[in-house]
């Protein structure tokens, strides 16, 4: 069902080597440190040049090995390095994160229990909820953790349920305020829950585009009043809502086939607040 409109002002909404000189002569005790003459001269040499003394062997402890040029085998040089093994690039394991903060706070968005801090689980309150929220079961309000926002929390129990679920409070449960965590919405003007695309979750005064979103089944709009979920009524007393936080009049208008509440506020409403996302205009009327 679409929006039903009525025609008057007032109603609601939303990162090395070694060089050896040669083979040692007989009696040579080693080739390693021989000094060679540049020209030893020979008899009959027409131009012997400047004869130098014959080679002499300097003392040494090395022992020649036949055929061994005297070059020691250095073997394998051990630099003392250890194998560091494969390098760790330091890339974290992405795992199967669905995009939610793995350290989501209480009442934070989640897809599975692992997205939530210790002690909380991912509560998906209805089948077509767009996502869940981190919560836990409870018996009373005192068992519920605080939110990141300065808003109260409570234990939301469905009728006849033995246990409830911790949620943030809004609407009539929080002085008429519709403030919820950014990913939650004030449902039925009482509880901060995930949005739903097909199940009616919106209560009186919450912004709507059609009756299918509203718990009451109807979305109304006035000339000066934003579209909002209507609260059907048969008497003014029914317009007061839970705990009497609202003050309204049960009216019929625009040829609608039912009566609904028109709320007053501020001075005119004796200090009453507006339900849902309606605002108090001129300290008198909820629009």
Quick check: 18 pLDDT over 70?
no
Mean pLDDT, range 110-133, rounded to an integer: 91
In this structure, how many other beta carbons lie within 10 angstroms of the beta carbon of residue 28?
15
- Angle at the Cα of 164 (from 161 to 168), degrees rounded to 5? 145
Is the pLDDT at 39 greater than 50? The verdict is no
87 against 283, higher pLDDT: 283
Q: Are strands 280-281 and 191-193 parallel, antiparallel or unpaired?
A: unpaired
User: Over the stretch 150-160, which tens digit does the pLDDT of each residue have?
Assistant: 999 999 988 88
CA atoms within 13 A on the CB side of 112: 7
Nearest to 185, CA basis, from 243, 57, 200: 200
Over residues 254-267, mean pLDDT: 89
Cα dihedral sign, 203-208-214-218? positive
Q: What is the pLDDT of residue 52?
A: 41
pLDDT at 252: 87
Q: How far apart are CA 155 and CA 141, in angstroms?
A: 5
What is the percent of the chain with per-residue pLDDT over 90, rounded to a whole number? 34
Q: Cβ neighbours of residue 218 under 8 Å, at least 6 residues apart?
A: 1, 4, 211, 229, 230, 232, 256, 258, 260
Q: What are the φ and ψ backbone dihedral angles of 281, each rounded to 5 degrees?
A: -100, 130
Q: Which long-range contacts (C-beta less than 8 Å, at least 24 apart) are formed by 230-238?
A: 230/4, 230/12, 230/204, 230/258, 230/260, 230/261, 231/203, 231/204, 231/205, 231/260, 231/261, 231/275, 232/258, 232/259, 232/260, 233/259, 233/260, 233/261, 234/259
Task: Please write the tens of the pLDDT for every residue from 184-240.
Answer: 988 877 889 988 767 788 889 988 888 888 888 899 988 889 999 999 999 999 999
pLDDT of 242 reads 72
* Average pLDDT in the chain: 73
pLDDT one-digit tens code per residue, 50-109: 444 444 343 444 444 454 455 554 444 444 444 444 444 444 443 334 444 445 689 999
The reported pLDDT for the residue numbered 2 is 57
Q: Which of 168, 161, 175, 286 is CA-nearest to residue 228?
A: 286
Structure confidence at residue 3 (pLDDT): 65
pLDDT of residue 176: 72
């Amino acid at each position: 069902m679409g929006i039903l409109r009525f025609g008057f002002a007032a109603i609601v909404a939303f990162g090395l080597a070694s060089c050896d000189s040669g083979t040692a002569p007989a009696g040579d005790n080693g080739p390693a440190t021989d000094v060679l003459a540049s020209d030893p001269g020979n008899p009959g040499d027409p131009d012997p040049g400047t004869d130098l003394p014959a080679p002499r062997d300097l003392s040494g402890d090395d022992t020649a090995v036949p055929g061994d040029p005297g070059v020691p085998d250095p073997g394998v040089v051990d630099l003392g390095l250890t194998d560091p093994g494969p390098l760790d690039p330091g890339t974290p394991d992405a795992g199967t994160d669905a995009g939610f903060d793995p350290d989501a706070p209480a009442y934070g968005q989640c897809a599975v229990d692992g997205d939530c801090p210790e002690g909380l689980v991912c509560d998906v309150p209805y089948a077509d909820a767009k996502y869940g929220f981190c919560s836990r079961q409870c018996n009373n309000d005192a068992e519920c953790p605080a939110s990141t926002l300065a808003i109260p929390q409570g234990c939301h129990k469905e009728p006849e349920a033995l246990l409830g679920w911790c949620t943030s409070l809004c609407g009539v449960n929080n002085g008429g305020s519709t403030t919820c965590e950014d990913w939650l919405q004030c449902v039925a003007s009482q509880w901060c829950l995930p949005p739903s695309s097909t199940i009616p979750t919106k209560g009186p005064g919450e912004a709507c585009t059609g009756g299918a979103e509203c718990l009451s089944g109807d979305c109304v709009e006035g000339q000066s009043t934003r579209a909002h979920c209507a609260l059907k009524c048969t008497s003014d007393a029914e317009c007061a809502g839970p705990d009497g936080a609202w003050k309204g009049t049960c009216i019929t208008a625009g040829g609608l086939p039912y009566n609904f509440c028109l709320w007053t506020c501020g001075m005119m409403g004796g200090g009453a607040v507006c339900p849902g996302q309606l605002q108090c205009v001129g300290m008198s009327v909820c629009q």
